[in-house]
């Protein structure tokens, strides 16, 4: 896609903010009211002050202890993603009053954002919503062959690997997914959203690259394409075969990301670090402006390598991630994996800024290794924190060792409660947890 085409596309969406809409429907009135209140919060003094605090924090300056409920990885999306689906359904579903499917989807999103505002953690909310751009080919066809976990038995059940690559001949089936947005279809979809939102809140297309975050960190799709058990066998039995696959994946991601940037579709809304990506080392996400990869945070992980040796992690993952990561401004590394034996390797990432320390890691060891060189995203166990109520004694006991280590090592850190799959139907568990963390960290 050409920059001129994207520029015209962007201008049309900018013009929508000044559109005169028809008499709003009942659904539009409900959504308009929710959108107006959301925008009021985005413009509030509290939201503005939190932006400044996160900028300092992400620059490794000492700030107030920052607390984050990270159950929704993308706070400004119009679509719900991630592990918090069940929590959202527990808290929001029964309140929905809109009638049409699209309106109910937007209503659910906005009510969820209002709930997130009410827990009063340190989340920053941006003054727009994103909806999925229409991509060609679809995200599900990003490698030209199936790349997903198998069917779940139920919404809460487990998945199994259904690999598409079995031998070297299958490598020829892989192709480099082009960056191509169907602008006409995306614009039509945007008009539908904006007619419901009115002039209260702008909606912009999420035009980020198809091979980005988990689809572009190599590790995640590597295991999906070949199967996790087979992958671990192939480390020993077919290492050259794996290197051929990894090289194709690396080159495909680099090409896809390059096309994304060259098209003008690379936007500040693509900033992502599993926390709040405000820093003066990158462009801020709040303006939805065109940018380059070097203006953005990017997130990488290697959850599938949590049980490998350090040498295997470097050989079969990190070495292939490095050329992709160096194109971005700042890197946040680590999702749920155990990072204890991989932090020395991560020091090879020249633009690394954040490292996650999860319940599966040796927290003391990780914190000591990281020292003051990087930000620490400390992630307590959600099962202990909120799954069955907020037990102050239990939480204090659980956090006593890591908090002592963070203090003694003079760490620059935030507390990020991620991967909450249940709050046992409690409407107040997350609110109570934030209040307790304020008390513990004061």
| pLDDT single digits (tens) 389-422 | 999 999 999 999 999 999 999 999 999 999 888 8
Q: How far is CA 421 from its chain centroid?
A: 16
Taken in order 111, 116, 120, 126, the sign of the CA dihedral is: negative
| pLDDT single digits (tens) 311-330 | 999 999 999 999 999 999 99
For range 418-440, the mean pLDDT: 93
Q: Is the pLDDT of residue 152 over 90?
A: no
- CA 157-158-162 angle, 5° bins: 130
**Given the structure tokens 């002592």, which residue do they identify?**
404
pLDDT of residue 315: 98
| pLDDT single digits (tens) 329-372 | 999 999 999 999 999 999 999 999 999 999 999 999 999 999 99
For range 287-307, the mean pLDDT: 96
Kindly list the distances between the CA atom of residue 360 and the CA atoms of 307, 317, 353, in Å, as whole numbers in the listed order: 11, 20, 21
pLDDT band at 153 (very low <50, low <70, confident <90, very high): low
Which is more confident, 236 or 12?
236
pLDDT band at 81 (very low <50, low <70, confident <90, very high): very low
The tokens of 219 are what? 């590790």
- According to DSSP H, which parts of 183-301 are helical? 183-197, 219-226, 228-237, 239-263
In three-state secondary structure terms, 325 is: helix
Q: Is the pLDDT of residue 5 over 60?
A: no
Q: In percent, how much of the chain has pLDDT > 70?
A: 90
β-sheet bridge partners, residue 415: 67, 378
pLDDT of residue 20: 46
Taken in order 291, 295, 297, 300, the sign of the CA dihedral is: positive
pTM above 0.85, yes or no: yes
Q: Is the pLDDT of residue 21 over 90?
A: no
The tokens of 179 are what? 């960056």
d(CA 54, CA 277): 8
The tokens of 387 are what? 């799954």
Q: Is the pLDDT of residue 114 over 80?
A: yes
Q: How far is CA 186 from its chain centroid?
A: 22
Spatial strand order of the sheet with 330-333 comes to 66-69, 413-417, 375-378, 352-357, 330-333, 297-300
Q: Is the pLDDT of residue 438 over 80?
A: yes
């Amino acid at each position: 896609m050409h920059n001129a085409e994207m520029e015209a596309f962007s201008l049309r969406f900018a013009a929508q903010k000044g559109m005169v809409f028809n008499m709003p429907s009942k659904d539009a009135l409900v959504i308009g009211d929710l959108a107006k209140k959301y925008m009021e919060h985005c413009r509030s003094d509290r939201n503005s002050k939190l932006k400044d605090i996160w900028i300092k924090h992400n620059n490794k300056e000492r700030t107030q202890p920052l607390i984050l409920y990270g159950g929704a990885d993308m706070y400004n999306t119009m679509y719900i993603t991630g592990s918090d689906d069940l929590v959202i359904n527990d808290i929001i579903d029964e309140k929905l009053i809109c009638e049409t499917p699209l309106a109910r989807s937007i209503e659910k999103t906005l009510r969820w954002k209002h709930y997130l505002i009410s827990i009063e953690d340190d989340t920053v909310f941006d003054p727009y919503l994103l909806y999925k751009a229409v991509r060609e080919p679809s995200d599900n066809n990003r490698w030209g062959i199936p790349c997903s976990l198998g069917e779940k038995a139920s919404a809460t059940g487990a998945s199994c690997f259904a690999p598409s690559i079995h031998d070297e001949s299958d490598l020829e089936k892989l192709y480099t997914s082009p960056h191509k947005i169907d602008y006409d279809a995306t614009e039509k979809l945007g008009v539908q959203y904006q007619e419901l939102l009115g002039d209260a809140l702008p909606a912009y297309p999420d035009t980020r690259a198809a091979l980005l975050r988990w689809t572009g960190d190599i590790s995640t799709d590597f295991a999906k394409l070949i199967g996790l058990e087979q992958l671990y066998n192939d480390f020993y039995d077919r290492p050259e075969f794996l290197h051929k696959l990894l090289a194709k994946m690396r080159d495909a991601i680099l090409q896809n990301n390059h096309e994304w940037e060259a098209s003008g579709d690379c936007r500040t809304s693509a900033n992502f670090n599993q926390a709040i990506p405000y820093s003066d080392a990158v462009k801020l996400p709040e303006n939805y402006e065109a940018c380059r990869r070097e203006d953005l945070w990017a997130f990488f992980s290697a959850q599938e390598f949590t049980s490998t040796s350090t040498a295997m992690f470097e050989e079969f993952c990190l070495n292939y991630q490095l050329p992709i990561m160096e194109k971005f401004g700042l890197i946040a590394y680590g999702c749920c994996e155990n990072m204890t034996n991989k932090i020395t390797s991560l020091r090879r990432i020249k633009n690394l800024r954040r490292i996650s320390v999860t319940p599966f890691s040796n927290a003391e060891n990780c914190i000591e290794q990281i020292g003051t060189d990087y930000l620490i995203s400390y992630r307590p166990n959600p099962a202990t924190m909120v799954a069955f109520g907020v037990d102050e004694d239990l939480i204090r006991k659980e956090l006593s060792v890591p908090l002592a280590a963070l203090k003694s090592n003079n760490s620059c850190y935030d507390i990020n409660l991620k991967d909450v799959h249940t709050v046992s139907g409690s409407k107040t568990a997350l609110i109570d947890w934030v209040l307790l963390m304020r008390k513990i960290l004061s």
